[in-house]
Structure 1
Amino acid sequence: MGRKAIEKKRKVKSQKVEQWTQAILPKLVHTELGSLTIDDLSSLFNKSKSTVYQYFTSKEEIFEYITQVRIDSLKTYRKALHKNTKDYRNQYENLVDVLVKGAQDISPFYLNQLKIHFPTAWQIIEEFLMILLNDLKVFYTTEIQNKQFKPISVDLLCKLDEYFIRQLITDHHFFNNTDIVLGEMIKEYMYLKLEGLKA
């Protein structure tokens, strides 16, 4: 009869763990995530395998953590967007800044790989996108009512955002044929939209 595996208690993840896990993202821009092993990830982290296992049980958990940390930083846009102010432009610019910063070091190829190989990590992104789309809908509706934006169909605006977010940001074929990077594309899209909406 074999020995029963003992579930090892993992260490609490510190700010240092957050830093070295986030620092891996630029190295994964063109990497096939499905082929990575814990050994590969340990090497990319510049940590021993035993150190990685002190905090994580699997590759899935690693990518869930990396994704959650980045998404938590993106959620900071909500504070400015929900502020009761007449300066809609400042609210919008803050949103754009947060999204562009959040896209730093992330490629559409990486996002597509995450979607294919780590669905639980991708689900964290999906949940964030639903919150973002809903917040944008409220923002458009409010500013149309305040006569700051043209009376354009909010449903159409939200559908455009949904297409942009769900399709284009993971379309690495599009990005292979253009010099624009993800963060820059987000910025241009958001500003084009703002200019078109202004009353």
Structure 2
Amino acid sequence: MGRKSLSKDRKDKNKKVEQWTQAILPKLKQADLGNLTMDDLAVLMNKSKSTIYQYFITKEEIFEYITQVRIDRLYNYKNEITKEIIEPNYKYGKLAGILTEGAKDISAHYLRQLKLHYPTAWKIIEDFLHSLLQDFKQFYLLGIQSDMFKPVSVDLLVKLDEYFIMQLITDDQFFTQSKDTLESTIKDYMYLKFEGLMI
């Protein structure tokens, strides 16, 4: 009963809440998300715990919100694919830009921690990634049919994307060894993929 009445008292989230929740992402790149408390999150957001409780009840809710805001921005990629593919001088740069912007201030370590400790937040990412893979498949088919891409195996292209998207982005050991960022790796991957496909 107490939880239901509390949730009714929460304030609606606005642009300011979006800004200060997104602003903590760089501080969480190497954090153990499972050990963070509401007190820790309040310090990281530079807000009082009472302020945070005006908008959120649990840590899970905070991470779900942070994730949803970022994923909502990433859904812009769909419009870019649709618009760009029909252009005779298609460039993949805008699409790469959207995806690298989505990865900004996020590390593979953070994503792996999110997957381990906040499965409902990770599910938001996973649903988006599955949608992305399906759209990429259609994108490759259209590109090959319009003689913009080389006639290679679409299934192989999608399998490569699936490995990169579903496994590499949470492989913090790879990023520790390579010293690359998630953002730069996405940029390099997109460059290799599309420059190799172009006729």
The TM-score normalised by the length of structure 2 is 0.95
- Once residues 89 and 177 of structure 2 are traced to their aligned partners in structure 1, the CA distance between those partners, rounded to angstroms, is 35
The equivalent of 1:71 in structure 2 is 71
Q: Please, which runs of 5 or more residues in structure 1 have no aligned partner? A: none
Once the two structures are superposed, the pairs formed by residues 148-187 of structure 1 within 5 Å of their partners are 148-187=148-187
- Once residues 88 and 139 of structure 1 are traced to their aligned partners in structure 2, the CA distance between those partners, rounded to angstroms, is 15
- Percent identity reads 59
C-alpha RMSD of the superposition: 1.2
Report deviation, 1:78: 1.2
Gap change, CA 1:113 and 1:87, over 3 Å in 2: farther
The equivalent of 2:31 in structure 1 is 31
Q: Please, which runs of 5 or more residues in structure 2 have no aligned partner? A: none
**What is the DSSP-based 3-state SS (H/G/I as helix, E as strand, rest coil) of the residue aligned with 2:2?**
coil
Gap change, CA 1:116 and 1:197, over 3 Å in 2: same
Check the 8 A contact 1:88/1:143 in 2, yes or no.
no
Give CA deviations for 1:23-52 in whole Å, capped at 9, x if unaligned.
000000000000001111011111111110
Once the two structures are superposed, the pairs formed by residues 6-21 of structure 1 within 5 Å of their partners are 7-8=5-6, 9-21=9-21
Once the two structures are superposed, the pairs formed by residues 1-199 of structure 1 within 5 Å of their partners are 5=2, 7-8=5-6, 9-83=9-83, 85-87=86-88, 89-90=90-91, 92-199=92-199
**What is the DSSP-based 3-state SS (H/G/I as helix, E as strand, rest coil) of the residue aligned with 1:134?**
helix
**What is the DSSP-based 3-state SS (H/G/I as helix, E as strand, rest coil) of the residue aligned with 1:10?**
coil
2:144 is aligned with what amino acid? I
The structure with the largest helix share of the pair is 2
Report deviation, 1:79: 1.1
The TM-score normalised by the length of structure 1 is 0.95
1:16 is aligned with what amino acid? K
Give CA deviations for 1:121-153 in whole Å, capped at 9, x if unaligned.
000000100111111111100010011111111
2:43 is aligned with what amino acid? S
- Once residues 61 and 20 of structure 1 are traced to their aligned partners in structure 2, the CA distance between those partners, rounded to angstroms, is 15
Give CA deviations for 1:73-109 in whole Å, capped at 9, x if unaligned.
111111121126224633x221100011111100000
- Once residues 2 and 166 of structure 2 are traced to their aligned partners in structure 1, the CA distance between those partners, rounded to angstroms, is 41
Give CA deviations for 1:148-172 in whole Å, capped at 9, x if unaligned.
1111111110010000001101000
2:90 is aligned with what amino acid? R
**What is the DSSP-based 3-state SS (H/G/I as helix, E as strand, rest coil) of the residue aligned with 2:113?**
helix
- Once residues 89 and 27 of structure 1 are traced to their aligned partners in structure 2, the CA distance between those partners, rounded to angstroms, is 37
- Once residues 42 and 73 of structure 2 are traced to their aligned partners in structure 1, the CA distance between those partners, rounded to angstroms, is 24
